[in-house]
Amino acid sequence: MGYGQQTQRVMQAVRSKVSSRALEPGEKLPSIRGFASLMNVSPSTVVEAYDRLAAEGIIFARKGSGFYVSPKTQPFSVSEIGPHLDREIDPFWVSRQSLDSGPDMLKPGCGWMPADWMPNASLRKAIRHLSKAEDQLLSDYASSRGASNLRRLQARQFATEGIEVNPNQILLTGSGTQSLDLICRFLLRPGDRVLVSDPCYFNFQAILKTHQVEIVSVPYTTTGVDLELFEKAIIEQKPRFYISNSTLHNPTGVNLSAQSAHKILTIAARHDLILVEDEVFAEFLPQPTPHLAALGGFDRVIRLGSFSKTLSASVRCGYIAAKPEWIEALVDLQVATNFGGPSPIATELIYTCLSDGSYRKHMEALRARLAKARRAVSANLAELGFQTWLMPEGGFYLWCLLPEGIDSAELARAALQQNMVLAPGDVFSPNQSMGRFMRFNVSQMGAPETYEILRGLMCDL
């Protein structure tokens, strides 16, 4: 890299304008001086940014006249938008390494549990059951909202968490990620702003980039988002919505308290902000904490989640719960972009598993197994000088502070040479301010060589 954050910020602003067509192909760019004052940087920073964008072919200089947007727009590439990181440590790289690496790769940076931690016995039983299902279930499209038996089951589950919701207010989708994508399609236009926490789940950034919006972030503390800065950002940046995990925040593991949830709702109501609550980790707590939808209802809250973390990521299904008129619009969007709800085969497998007592027993055992693993891995990492930032109440993540002088991106790059995928802090950080943090998945760290390799890497750095 080698050029400053200010230059990157200016380049990013121009890229957004070009990709959202706020600047049309052939159009003249703002003057150096004008843009410098607008962006609150020095004119030389803008000169550098324009020069680099010209080198990239996005704009071109006309002698004595200034800079213009290049006439031919290129096809969209997600990686061209946003701060250009090293491919090796950008969010897509971590996802693609985790998704595509073979079984001999060690994956402490991975976002899911190994196959032998998952309820495969329940799933096999459900598959055998499925082979006797009616023809129509096996061959037809889903209804536009997805299977009604699973939506009714979900509504009953929500009721136990104190959330009152009609099954018709639940839309089943292809995955938790697709849930968020549909919400973005519904709420966002290019150039809008969205508020996230720093750090946050890295795919929030990836998906928001595909919608060509600006990401605004607020620091995350051990009790949740910094509320003062949260309100300030809402006032100053006017984001379209705020998105975060309420249960066991990814990557920190913080479980939002009911008090914090109440304060977030109060601030959001004051400024008429929409809140999107990603509850993909809800099942990892024995007793759910009342969060945004439970306390505030669905007036301004949209809840999403999936079954990928606890049941199976191979059986793809997610959900959205929201107010009825929003669900109606989301149904149309899902008909247009996926021709209806998710696979009836997938939803039937999930319904069968969730209705089965053996799944509940598996989850109880899993929570105990994870608690033990969190303690053991935290102790092992402490010996390497990796300090657990906060011991989570559940789930499989530990967010660790590395010893002074160790850069987590460098460590991740070195680990890759040893066939190990790590998840360095800046991948989760919109401001690139988490270079001393690393996210570990305790369920993926059973192999003793994991620690040997980490120790060796630390010595080499």
Q: CA of 194: how far to CAs of 14, 208, 277, 384, in Å?
A: 18, 8, 13, 37
Give me the residues paired with residue 273 across strands: none
For residues 78 and 312, what is the distance between their CA atoms, to the nearest angstrom? 28
Minimum distance of its own copies from residue 332's CB (angstroms): 5
SS3 call for 256: coil
Minimum distance of its own copies from residue 124's CB (angstroms): 5
Edge to edge, what strands does the sheet with 423-424 contain? 387-388, 397-401, 437-441, 423-424
Beta carbon nearer to its own copies, 288 or 341: 341
Minimum distance of its own copies from residue 205's CB (angstroms): 9
Minimum distance of its own copies from residue 98's CB (angstroms): 8
Beta carbon nearer to its own copies, 96 or 455: 96
Minimum distance of its own copies from residue 209's CB (angstroms): 7
Q: Which helix (H) or strand (E) holds 161?
A: none
Closest Cα to residue 350, out of 391, 387, 307, 388?
307
Minimum distance of its own copies from residue 69's CB (angstroms): 13
Beta carbon nearer to its own copies, 184 or 377: 184
- Other Cβ atoms within 10 Å of 426 Cβ, number: 25
Return the residue matching tokens 């072919």.
57
Beta carbon nearer to its own copies, 7 or 173: 173
Return the residue matching tokens 């060509």.
212
For residues 24 and 18, what is the distance between their CA atoms, to the nearest angstrom? 6
Residue type, 62: R
Minimum distance of its own copies from residue 113's CB (angstroms): 8
Tokens of 233: 């950002």
Minimum distance of its own copies from residue 22's CB (angstroms): 7
Tokens of 21: 């067509």
Minimum distance of its own copies from residue 194's CB (angstroms): 14
Beta carbon nearer to its own copies, 181 or 277: 181
Beta carbon nearer to its own copies, 63 or 72: 72
For residues 44 and 33, what is the distance between their CA atoms, to the nearest angstrom? 9
Rounding to the nearest 10 degrees, give the CA dihedral for residues 234, 237, 241, 245: -70
Beta carbon nearer to its own copies, 293 or 317: 317
DSSP state, residue 174:
S
Q: Which helix (H) or strand (E) holds 340?
A: none
Tokens of 236: 């100053």
Beta carbon nearer to its own copies, 44 or 120: 120
- Other Cβ atoms within 10 Å of 206 Cβ, number: 19
For residues 362 and 4, what is the distance between their CA atoms, to the nearest angstrom? 50
Tokens of 147: 């299977």
Beta carbon nearer to its own copies, 351 or 386: 351
Q: CA of 283: how far to CAs of 253, 261, 374, 393, 425, in Å?
A: 14, 18, 17, 12, 25
Minimum distance of its own copies from residue 160's CB (angstroms): 26
Beta carbon nearer to its own copies, 191 or 435: 191
